[in-house]
Structure 1
Amino acid sequence: MVRNRVLRCLAGLFTIVFVMGLSACGGSQTEKLVLTGSSTVAPLASEIARAFEQLHPETRIDVQTGGSSRGINDARNDLADIGMVSRALKSNESDLTAQTIAWDGITLILNSSNPVQLLNRSQVIDIYTKKITNWSEVGGPDQPVVVVNKAEGRSTLELFLKFYQLKGTEIKADIIIGDNQQGLKTVSGNPFAIGYVSIGAANYEKEQGAPIRILPVNGVDGTLSNVEKGLFPISRPLNLVTRDQSNPLAQQFIAFAQSSEVAELVARQFFVPAHAN
């Protein structure tokens, strides 16, 4: 009698657990997207991801940095659903599809305590190749120039080298940095440093109170307006790249990132919305 009662209790308990399991399995399943790559695109992608998750609570989006080269490699090798790349695709990357979500530029920055207001093309080249080593040579204080350069694999470095027609081996850097935030912190904390970063990142940090000066490039101010008008000489697309279009969630996210729904968000990050350029 007691044995039968115990068996009935166990059977009832098993039924409850089984039904609960079925209920859990039958509920909505979380979908996940992984984005990796450009540190310029990442903060914007993270903001867009938060907006997308609010509209699609069953979705979780993981945004990781590492540079545009990582974005290309991860998308190509299925290590990420979407790669973030802050440049146009190269001819040897035709196996990938790029969708532009915003436009940006690359600008030179100094510490705001440095009185130098303008550097011409030759002076920038000479500073980065150490032909000019003291700020007094370009109208600044009698202090050594601290050259801040981007690490290999960063599209910002590639575009800087291309614009100034330099080779990576010609650059004589004192400090090597990875993402834009490292560059901004380095120049903000060193009165005699010079670096180059995303216009969007530089303008955002300056508005937040960072002690930096944004220098003109070829006489053109590094502003969002000049990027939008196509006047700034080192402009670039901010792209989301995929190897194919077989992932419907990835395509849905990209479409959302290009839509007018996020245009204000893009502008708040100091980038030009894709449809405005």
Structure 2
Amino acid sequence: MSSSLTAAHADNLRMGGTGAAAELMKLLGAAFEAGADDVTVEVIAGLGSSGSIAATIDGALDVAISARPLKPAEVETGLIQSVFAQTPYGLVSSNPKPGDIAASDLAAFYASTTSTWPDGTPVRVILRPNRESDTALLGGMFAGMGEAIDTVRSRIDVPVAATDQDNLELASSLDGSLVGTSLAQVVTEHRQLQFMTINGYEPTLENLENGRYPFAKSFYLMVPGTPTPLAQRFTAFLQSDDGKRILSAAACLPVIN
């Protein structure tokens, strides 16, 4: 697969998107390319959700993979969106045994300057930029978490990770780290980070599917109102047995729209 943004070619599928799905896009792209002799795939790195949406609107991409739904102004451009996968979302740490927490206690644990891990070592929160989609996701997922994030943001000692990859890189290198992230990103990037269990349940696909662990991140597929033939083929591939197998191996629950 290539990785540079180029002009359109009939046999070249171009996609980009959220950093949380960067490795997932490579896996899907490689499998789609391998199953179609007449197709090459470009995965454009570093665009993020907003950048990939803008590039798809401009015709520079066939497909955008976003961590957020379209904004009203983006909907007006005619883009079509659908959720194609969900993955458990939670809080991870470099601490090897971060333990369990009640969902109702998470905000206070996150905001407190005296929180410690079960082994007594201090918790060290890492933030994301205020306008980043995971900030809104985490803030709306647990009661009081939005206010807790604002409280932590007022502290000058708390680092801010600019990208999804920076987030897990910092989490891996900082003792006692605490960050919000998806299981899919941890799995596909092979990160040695441990999730807290919430209300006694691990963030697994089985627990997400049966509702015991209800905290999830959605991945959106976005294509032009008149998709390119390759975009249509890729959309069908995501719904195929091979596509579903790759999603499941990447800790994603395939979603049928």
Task: Pick the TM interval, shorter chain.
Answer: 0.7 to 0.9
For residue 151 of structure 1, the aligned residue among 105, 108, 129 is: 129
SS at match of 1:175: coil
CA contact (8 A) 2:23 2:188 kept: no
* 1:231–1:78 Cα change, 3 Å: farther
CA contact (8 A) 1:99 1:254 kept: no
* 1:141–1:225 Cα change, 3 Å: same
Q: Deviation digits for residues 186-223 of structure 1, max 9, x if unmatched? A: 22222221111112223455xx5x44221123443211
Distance in 1 of aligned mates of 2:187 and 2:23: 14
**Structure 1: any 5+ residue segments left out of the alignment?**
1-28
Aligned residue in 2 for 1:98: 81
For residue 242 of structure 1, the aligned residue among 214, 220, 223 is: 223
Aligned residue in 2 for 1:187: 171
Aligned residue in 2 for 1:124: 106
For residue 196 of structure 1, the aligned residue among 155, 167, 180 is: 180
User: Once structures 1 and 2 are overlaid, which stretch shifts more, 98-107 or 227-236?
Assistant: 227-236
Determine which structure has more spread, i.e. the larger CA radius of gyration. 1
* 1:32–1:86 Cα change, 3 Å: same
CA contact (8 A) 1:68 1:86 kept: yes
Corresponding position: 1:141 with 2:125? no
For residue 67 of structure 1, the aligned residue among 48, 66, 69 is: 48
Aligned residue in 2 for 1:227: 208
Shift of 1:228: 2.2
Identical-pair percentage: 22
Shift of 1:102: 1.7
Higher relative contact order (CA 8 A, sep 6+): 2
- TM-score of the superposed pair, with normalisation by structure 1: 0.74
Kindly provide the amino acid, as one letter, of the partner of residue 63 in structure 2.
Answer: I
* 1:230–1:89 Cα change, 3 Å: farther
Distance in 2 of aligned mates of 1:204 and 1:68: 18
For residue 54 of structure 1, the aligned residue among 34, 46, 56 is: 34
Distance in 1 of aligned mates of 2:106 and 2:207: 21
- TM-score of the superposed pair, with normalisation by structure 2: 0.79
Distance in 2 of aligned mates of 1:231 and 1:46: 30
Q: Deviation digits for residues 62-102 of structure 1, max 9, x if unmatched? A: 21233222232222333322111123445554332113332
Distance in 1 of aligned mates of 2:128 and 2:120: 25
Q: Deviation digits for residues 36-66 of structure 1, max 9, x if unmatched? A: 2211223222111111212333322221233
Aligned residue in 1 for 2:16: 36
Report how many residues are paired.
Answer: 240
**Structure 2: any 5+ residue segments left out of the alignment?**
1-8
SS at match of 1:105: strand
Kindly provide the amino acid, as one letter, of the partner of residue 187 in structure 1.
Answer: A
CA contact (8 A) 2:21 2:184 kept: no
Higher helix share: 1
Shift of 1:182: 2.9
Aligned residue in 1 for 2:139: 161
Distance in 1 of aligned mates of 2:162 and 2:42: 20
SS at match of 1:266: helix
Distance in 1 of aligned mates of 2:208 and 2:221: 19
Corresponding position: 1:263 with 2:237? no
Q: Deviation digits for residues 136-183 of structure 1, max 9, x if unmatched? A: 4x655253x321122355322221112235166444271222444433
CA contact (8 A) 1:105 1:236 kept: yes
